Structure 1
């Protein structure tokens, strides 16, 4: 089983904000001097904060967290450790206050049709998807489609999309690398468990000559997907929200699968028609 480092928040929990900030700084491989320059402070003051000799203001905690790229959820933990109230709410997506956001997300991903688009949370759970995604998932077993649907699990599961992906080893490597980056950023135990699960799925051997030569040069690693006798080629694009002030919103990501060749464009538009 693959192992991953524990969270800076976990390792320094219960010892005040100083050790927490030091753990995040070391995780990001930033020196005290470099962090001080970024945060318009001094290395001496950063040292005093980390050793507990100085209590940082609420503004300083947030400023340091910003420059250390600490996830919004963990910034609340830093504030609590420093003796301040959490700054960022965590509003459930089904809360009435989230209505305009949900509507905006639905309109956005519908606007990409017939190209597939979906929205996932920090653990790759699908919270919204358009008809393009429904087309790709058509025919998969019910146990993979029963909510909560997980985008990574359904892609790499041997009963999911994996048998349909012609370049599965390459695409699998891309997804696992992406997950490793998220683990390094968020240090989520649930995300680590999901990684260990999907990384253990068997990878069928690719017969010689199974991967076709591209008709045009690819601009990025494509996902080559068989669908109803057609070979579709997609490149993935991921978008997140700028300056989120809510944990839920901060952890949402919008992924679109854009056609990588003219044949895929033509086929998808024919389905919509």
Structure 2
């Protein structure tokens, strides 16, 4: 247990700093004292399961972060560490695909925390046709977005690029693989000059304008979501991305393409 305490203390301190809390602030939330929080962070005191549950609840921790707390304190986590290909996770993905993606009339995807495409509906496959041939590797949505071939289809890259970049910066802060992709995007000059883009009148939405295969202009944005009541770190790290048309012509075009893709899939 003694070897585990410093790791727990460092984790707790990092969580406290992320929330912008002093030791006294955290102690007040936990119904404890600043002295006890200090002892927990330095390893002079060991946390109980009850204390970890309090921290988990009061800081509204995601499952993955809660697992780290239990493990660094030397306790078995109440949450299972499932692999992405475990039967439970595959069953959950099948449910999302069957109950949600299959009924969304526009492109829709399930992405893991590194934005690898795990599931997609028929309109989604059609939308990315020609960009997902990655051999044995599953396609990655950010790599597709940042590819020169896909960028050629984006008609307002200067306006849309900061939207992609913001998502990439946010995710790269917590994932080394995406951090590598961020550096790759920087090295390729894809993010050059984004900080110089200035708009006096920022709209409610910044749609991405995409050239459809038939030459029509699509104006789309995305709805990002996760399932509630998730108690698994792998599923919790997944994002459901539903593409939304921003005008009637884009809706008509996507619906027509979706209907065709469904017909082809049925055949």
TM range, smaller chain: 0.7 to 0.9
Name which of 140, 148, 157 aligns with 1:168. Answer: 157
1:17 matched to 2:3? The reply is no
| Preserved CA contact (<8 Å) 1:169 1:203 | no
Supply the distance in 1 between the matched residues of 2:54 and 2:157 (Cα, whole angstroms): 42
Q: Count the aligned residue pairs.
A: 245
Over 3 Å counting, the alpha-carbon distance change for 1:177 and 1:227 in structure 2 is same
User: What are structure 1's unaligned runs of at least 5 residues?
Assistant: 1-12, 206-216
1:197 corresponds in structure 2 to 184
Aligned to 1:9: none
Question: Structure 1 residues 201 and 240, CA, compared in 2 at 3 Å: closer, same or farther?
Answer: farther
1:31 corresponding residue in structure 2: 22
CA change 1:203–1:180 in 2 (3 A) is: closer
Per the normalisation by structure 2, the TM-score is: 0.81
Q: Does 1:225 align with 2:210?
A: yes
Residue 141 of structure 1: how far off its partner (Å)? 6.9
Output the CA distance in 2 between the equivalents of 1:154 and 1:128: 15
1:225 is displaced (CA, Å) by 0.6
Pair 1:200–1:67, CA change in 2 (3 A): farther
Task: String of CA shifts for 1:241-267, please: whole Å, max 9, x gaps.
Answer: 334221211111101110111111111
2:93 is aligned to 102
Q: Deviation at 1:61?
A: 2.0
Q: Does 1:124 align with 2:109?
A: no
Q: TM-score, normalised by structure 1?
A: 0.79
Q: Separation in 1 of the partners of 2:230 and 2:248?
A: 36
How far has the Cα of 1:133 moved from its partner?
A: 1.6
The C-alpha deviation readout for 1:95-116, integer Å capped at 9, x for no partner, is 2233541221112111112x11
1:158 aligns with 2:148: yes
